[in-house]
């Protein structure tokens, strides 16, 4: 099957991508990637490694949830225009929101780790979600900020006894979350920004190919 898809793609990449976005697997892939990142952030880093989420962190989590629901809705039947457009709207809206939140968190992270911590703005314990949704009250474990923006070091409660694996993770991320902690290479905000940009490019390619094929058939 992969060989067949590759041959189709080589012969006509635009038509092939337009055909793919009419199938469920690309939309389910977007939903899967989004929910996987959310679960890893919540279950592994927040609960297992004791990294408390900040205001911008829960906003980033919300943006991934928008992408998740967009993927699920479109995957119901990608050939249905209304469902597909809903998927695109939620996907792009989540991505654009997420890019903004990631850029803001990265600016805060840079400020708190510089010689001018007074430049820190935009971090509150009372989040304001789009449309006034009180997600921090409905789902506090997922959307209530309990940490400080820019500081993502593990904070282990004094009454908690860590397993050997937990202790390894806590020591590994002792200076905060980085893709490569030893070198402080790519912080969490930058990693999220990269993920959103990649999703934006891929979703844009899908949309452009679909529109181009639709127009060419008229």
Q: Which of 61, 192, 199, 209 is catalytic?
A: 61
The DSSP secondary-structure symbol of 217 reads T
The predicted structure's pLDDT at residue 3: 64
Residue (of 55, 140, 136, 147) closest to 101 by Cα position: 55
Known active-site residue 24: no
Question: What are the domain boundaries of the chain?
Answer: 18-150+187-216
Share of the chain above pLDDT 70, in %: 91
Known active-site residue 192: no
Interval 147-162: pLDDT, tens: 988 888 999 999 999 9
Average pLDDT over residues 17-23: 89
The predicted structure's pLDDT at residue 5: 63
Paired sense of beta strands 185-187 and 178-180, if any: antiparallel
DSSP line for 139-188? SHHHH---S-TT-------TTPPPPHHHHHHHHHTTT--EEEGGGTEEEH
Known active-site residue 61: yes
Q: How far is 12 from 120, CA to CA, in rounded Å?
A: 50
Lowest mean pLDDT segment, chosen from 7-21, 57-71, 122-136, 140-154: 7-21
Average pLDDT over residues 34-39: 97
187 forms beta bridges with 178
pTM summary value = 0.91
More confident residue, 193 or 120: 193
Q: Are 189 and 183 in contact (CB under 8 A)?
A: no
Share of the chain above pLDDT 90, in %: 74
Known active-site residue 209: no
Q: Which of 24, 66, 149, 218 is catalytic?
A: 149
Q: Which of 66, 123, 199, 209 is catalytic?
A: 123
The predicted structure's pLDDT at residue 150: 84
pLDDT at 87 over 90: yes
Residue range 18-150+187-216, CATH number: 1.20.1550.10
pLDDT at 41 over 90: yes
Known active-site residue 54: yes
């Amino acid at each position: 099957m992969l060989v067949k898809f590759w041959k189709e793609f080589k012969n006509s990449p635009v038509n092939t991508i337009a055909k793919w976005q009419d199938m469920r697997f690309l939309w389910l892939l977007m939903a899967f990637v989004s929910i996987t990142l959310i679960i890893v952030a919540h279950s592994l880093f927040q609960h297992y490694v004791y990294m408390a989420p900040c205001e911008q962190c829960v906003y980033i989590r919300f943006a991934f949830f928008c992408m998740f629901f967009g993927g699920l809705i479109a995957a119901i039947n990608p050939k249905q225009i209304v469902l597909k457009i809903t998927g695109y709207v939620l996907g792009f809206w989540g991505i654009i929101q997420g890019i903004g939140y990631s850029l803001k968190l990265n600016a805060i992270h840079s400020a708190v780790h510089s010689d001018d911590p007074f430049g820190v703005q935009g971090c509150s314990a009372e989040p304001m979600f789009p449309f006034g949704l009180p997600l921090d009250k409905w789902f506090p474990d997922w959307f209530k900020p309990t940490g400080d923006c820019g500081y993502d070091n593990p904070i282990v409660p004094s009454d908690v006894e860590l397993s050997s694996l937990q202790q390894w993770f806590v020591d590994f991320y002792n200076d905060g979350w980085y893709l490569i902690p030893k070198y402080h290479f790519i912080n969490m905000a930058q990693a999220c920004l990269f993920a959103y940009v990649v999703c934006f490019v891929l979703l844009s390619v899908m949309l452009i190919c679909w529109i181009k094929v639709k127009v060419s058939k008229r």
